[in-house]
C-alpha cells in the first residue's frame, strides 16, 4: 500500500510542529524519518497513525482518503518506543490480540489464529517463546514481539517510533540488521522515526531529513550522504568541517587567498564550504590553503590532524591514510590543505 502525505500541517500554540509537509511513499518501501528532537518526525508519524489530528492537509492510503479515519479504522501497525506490550497477556496472546479483536464477521477461527501466531513467532525467530510473559523477555525480544503483533493484522503501513531507542548499542545494531532482513522478507511498507543518522542510512531505502517541521531533503542514503541539499543536512549526517569564504565568478576564495575552488553558484556572496574530514588532502604550497597544525595523532594507518586555516575561526579535522613512510606533521608546523569533495552553501 503506498502512502501520500499532502500539505500536512500541525501547530502547537505558537510553534509549527509540522509546516506543510508533502511526501510520497511507494508500496514496500522502508523509509526513515530523520531529525533531532523538535524536528517534527514523531509528530508526522503520529499524524499518519491517527494518534494526532492535523490542522490541515490530506493523507492517502493507496487512493483512499484516510484523513478522517480514526486510529482504529486505519489499520496501521504502530510499534511504540517502549513496546507497550500487554503485561497481562502471554507473547502468543499479544500477537493474537489484533486478530481476536476483529468483529465476528471478519474474525478467523481459533486454529487459523494460532497458526498465524506461530508463523509470526517463527518469522521473528522466537518460536519457543509463545507462552512467556513480557516481563520475562529482554528488550530486544520485546521489540520483536511488538513487531510481530503489529504485523499480525496485515497492516496498511508499519510505523515504528524510535524502535531501537531503548536498547543497548550492541542489541541496537543487531536488531537493525534483523529488521532490514525482515522487511525484505515481508515487503511491508514501513516508516520509522530515528534521530540516529547511522541507523537511518544503514537501514532505509529512502531517508527523509526533517528540520523544524519541514522536510530538508528526501533521497536515498547515498544521495543524502554525498549530495546533501543544505548545510543543515550535511552537518547532521556524518562529521563536517566548515570553511568560510566568498563566492565570486563561479569560484570560492577563502580569506583573499589565491586558492580558487570551482563552485556551482555564479553570484557574489558569502558562503560556507562543507567538507568531510577524509575528503581533504595535504598538498604542496600554492595548491591549497595554508594552515597551522594544532595537534596530530597517529594510530596504525590513520593520521588525524587538527588544523587551523589562516583567517578561520573554527579548526578543521583532517583524516589521512598514512603510507608506511609518511611523516606525521608536527604541531605548530604549517601545511597546505585542499578540499577534494565538498559542498558550498551560500548564506
Partner 1 sequence: MSEHALPLPTSAVRWRRPLPGFGLGLGLGLTWLGLVVLLPLAALILRSGGLGLAGWLRAIGDPRVIASLKVSFATAFIAAVCSLLGGALIAWVLERYRFSGRRLLDALVDLPFALPTAVAGITLAAIYDENGWVGQLLQPLGIKLVNNTTGIVIALIFIGLPFAVRTVQPVLEALGREQEEAAASLGASRLTTLRRVILPELLPALLTGFSLAFARGLGEFGSVIFIAGNLPMKTEIAPLLITIRLEEEGGVTAAIVLATLLLLMSFACLVAINAASALFAHGSRRGG
Partner 2 sequence: MADARDQLQEPAWVRWTLITLAVAIMALVLVLPLLMLLGAAFGSGLKVWIAAVTEPHTLSALRLTLLTAAVVVPVNAICGVFMAWALTRFEFRGKRTLLALIDLPFAVSPVVAGLCLVLLFSPTHGYFADLLNQYDIKILFATPGIVLATMFVTFPFVVRELIPLMEQQGSDEELAARSLGASAWTMFFRVTLPNIKWGLLYGVLLCSARAMGEFGAVTVVSGNIMGKTNTLSLHVEVLYKQLGGEAAAAFAVASLLAGLALVTLVFKIWLEARHGDALARSHRRH
- The residue from 14, 37, 72, 88 that contacts partner 1 (CB under 8 A) is 72
Ordered DSSP codes for 239-289: --EEEEEEEETTEEESTT-S-EEE-S--S-EEEEEEE-GGGEEEE-TTSSE
Determine the interface stretch with partner 2 among 18-26, 76-84, 272-280, 307-315 (rule: CB under 8 A): 76-84
How far is Cα 109 from Cα 139, in angstroms, rounded to an integer?
Answer: 31
Choose among partner 2, partner 1, none what residue 27 binds, the Cβ cut-off being 5 to 8 Å by kind. Answer: partner 1
Calculate the alpha carbon distances from 334 to 254, 288, 309 in Å.
Answer: 17, 12, 9
Number of chain residues interacting with partner 2 (CB under 8 A): 27
Choose among partner 2, partner 1, none what residue 82 binds, the Cβ cut-off being 5 to 8 Å by kind. Answer: partner 2
Query: Closest CB to partner 2 among 154 and 310?
Result: 154
Rg over CA atoms, the chain:
25
Distance of CA 298 to the CA centre of its chain: 32
Residue numbers 188-207 binding partner 2 by CB under 8 A: none
- The residue from 53, 62, 82, 333 that contacts partner 2 (CB under 8 A) is 82
Pairing of strands 190-194, 158-161: parallel
Are 8 and 47 a contacting pair, CB within 8 Å? yes
Choose among partner 2, partner 1, none what residue 28 binds, the Cβ cut-off being 5 to 8 Å by kind. Answer: partner 1
Residue numbers 118-147 binding partner 1 by CB under 8 A: none
If one asks whether residue 86 binds partner 1 (CB under 8 A), the answer comes out as no
What grid cell was written down for 233? 543536512
Nearest C-alpha neighbor of 48 from the set 146, 161, 152, 148: 161
Instruction: Please provide residue 254's backbone torsions phi and psi, each rounded to the nearest 5 degrees.
Output: -110, 115
If one asks whether residue 112 binds partner 2 (CB under 8 A), the answer comes out as no
Nearest C-alpha neighbor of 239 from the set 212, 205, 275: 275
If one asks whether residue 142 binds partner 2 (CB under 8 A), the answer comes out as no
If one asks whether residue 87 binds partner 1 (CB under 8 A), the answer comes out as no
Residue numbers 182-201 binding partner 1 by CB under 8 A: 187-188
Interface contacts to partner 1, rule CB under 8 A: 1, 27-28, 50-51, 53, 61-62, 64, 66, 68-75, 154, 156, 187-188
Q: Which residues bind partner 2 (CB under 8 A)?
A: 49-51, 71-72, 74-78, 80, 82, 84-89, 97-98, 101-103, 149-150, 152-153
Amino acid at each position: 500500500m503506498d502512502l501520500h502525505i499532502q500539505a500536512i500541517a500541525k501547530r502547537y500554540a505558537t510553534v509549527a510542529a509540522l509546516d506543510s509537509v508533502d511526501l510520497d511513499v511507494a508500496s514496500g518501501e522502508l523509509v526513515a524519518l530523520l531529525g533531532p528532537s523538535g524536528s517534527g518526525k514523531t509528530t508526522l508519524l503520529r499524524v499518519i497513525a491517527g494518534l494526532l489530528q492535523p490542522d490541515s492537509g490530506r493523507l492517502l492510503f493507496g487512493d483512499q482518503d484516510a484523513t478522517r479515519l480514526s486510529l482504529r479504522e486505519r489499520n496501521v501497525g504502530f510499534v511504540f518506543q517502549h513496546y507497550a506490550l500487554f503485561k497481562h497477556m502471554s507473547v502468543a496472546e499479544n500477537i493474537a490480540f489484533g486478530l481476536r479483536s476483529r468483529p465476528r464477521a471478519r474474525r478467523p477461527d481459533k486454529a487459523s489464529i494460532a497458526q498465524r501466531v506461530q508463523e509470526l513467532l517463527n518469522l521473528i525467530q522466537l518460536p519457543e517463546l509463545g507462552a512467556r510473559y513480557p516481563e520475562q523477555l529482554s528488550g530486544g525480544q520485546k521489540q520483536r514481539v511488538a513487531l510481530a503483533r503489529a504485523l499480525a493484522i496485515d497492516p496498511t503501513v508499519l510505523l515504528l517510533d524510535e524502535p531501537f531507542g531503548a536498547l543497548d548499542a550492541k542489541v541496537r545494531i543487531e536488531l537493525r540488521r534483523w529488521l532490514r532482513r525482515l522487511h525484505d522478507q515481508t515487503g511491508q511498507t514501513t516508516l520509522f522515526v530515528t534521530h540516529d543518522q547511522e541507523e537511518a542510512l544503514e537501514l532505509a531505502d529512502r531517508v527523509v531529513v526533517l528540520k523544524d517541521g519541514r522536510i530538508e531533503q528526501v533521497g536515498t542514503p547515498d544521495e543524502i550522504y554525498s549530495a546533501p541539499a543544505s548545510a543543515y543536512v550535511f552537518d547532521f549526517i556524518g562529521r563536517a568541517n566548515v570553511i568560510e569564504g566568498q563566492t565570486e565568478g563561479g569560484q570560492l576564495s577563502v580569506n583573499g587567498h589565491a586558492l580558487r575552488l570551482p563552485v556551482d553558484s555564479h553570484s557574489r556572496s558569502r558562503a560556507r564550504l562543507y567538507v568531510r574530514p577524509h575528503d581533504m588532502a595535504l598538498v604542496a604550497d600554492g595548491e591549497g590553503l595554508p594552515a597551522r597544525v594544532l595537534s596530530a595523532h597517529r594510530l596504525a594507518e590513520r593520521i588525524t590532524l587538527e588544523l587551523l586555516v589562516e583567517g578561520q575561526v573554527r579548526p578543521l579535522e583532517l583524516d589521512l591514510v598514512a603510507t608506511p613512510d609518511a611523516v606525521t606533521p608536527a604541531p605548530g608546523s604549517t601545511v597546505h590543505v585542499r578540499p577534494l569533495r565538498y559542498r558550498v552553501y551560500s548564506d
